[in-house]
Amino acid sequence: GENVEQHPSTLSVQEGDSAVIKCTYSDSASNYFPWYKQELGKGPQLIIDIRSNVGEKKDQRIAVTLNKTAKHFSLHITETQPEDSAVYFCAASLNNYGQNFVFGPGTRLSVLP
C-alpha cells in the first residue's frame, strides 16, 4: 500500500522567511496530493492541493510542487507570519474509487516574531 514520508518533523523560521516541507510517496499510481494545516484543537484545514497532471500550483503565499518521477512533492510558504504556526500534513491518494488518503506524520512549523 501507499506510504508517505514527511520532513522535517519540526521547523522553526523567522517571520518573513520562507518555509519548505517535503514529502515522498511510494505508490506511483497516486494522483492527488493535498496539504492540510491543523491548529490546536481544530480539524485539519485544506490549504492547497495538486493533481498528478500538474507540476506546480500557487495560491498567494503558498505553493506546491510535484515531481512524479522522483515521487515527491513539496509545500512552500513565503513571507511567513506568526499565524502560519501550526502542524502541516501532506497526503497522497489514488482517488480512482472513493476517498482514501494516506497522510504523512506531520511537520510542526513555528514562525518566530
Partner 1 sequence: KAGVTQTPRYLIKTRGQQVTLSCSPISGHRSVSWYQQTPGQGLQFLFEYFSETQRNKGNFPGRFSGRQFSNSRSEMNVSTLELGDSALYLCASSQNAGPNSYEQYFGPGTRLTVT
Q: Which residues are at the interface with partner 1 (CB under 8 A)? A: 32, 34, 36, 41-46, 49, 51, 89, 91, 93, 95, 97-106
What is the C-alpha to C-alpha distance for residues 100 and 87, in angstroms, rounded to an integer? 21
Length of the chain: 113
User: b/e for 43-56, b at 16 or more Cβ within 10 A?
Assistant: ebeebbbbebeeee
| DSSP 3-state of 84 | helix
User: Is the Cβ of residue 65 or residue 95 nearer to partner 1 in the bound state?
Assistant: 95
Minimum separation from the CB atom of position 76 to partner 1 (A): 20
User: Is the Cβ of residue 13 or residue 32 nearer to partner 1 in the bound state?
Assistant: 32
User: Is the Cβ of residue 78 or residue 95 nearer to partner 1 in the bound state?
Assistant: 95
Minimum separation from the CB atom of position 68 to partner 1 (A): 16
Minimum separation from the CB atom of position 70 to partner 1 (A): 22
Q: Which residues make beta-bridge pairs with 13?
A: 111
Minimum separation from the CB atom of position 20 to partner 1 (A): 21
What is the C-alpha to C-alpha distance for residues 101 and 93, in angstroms, rounded to an integer? 5
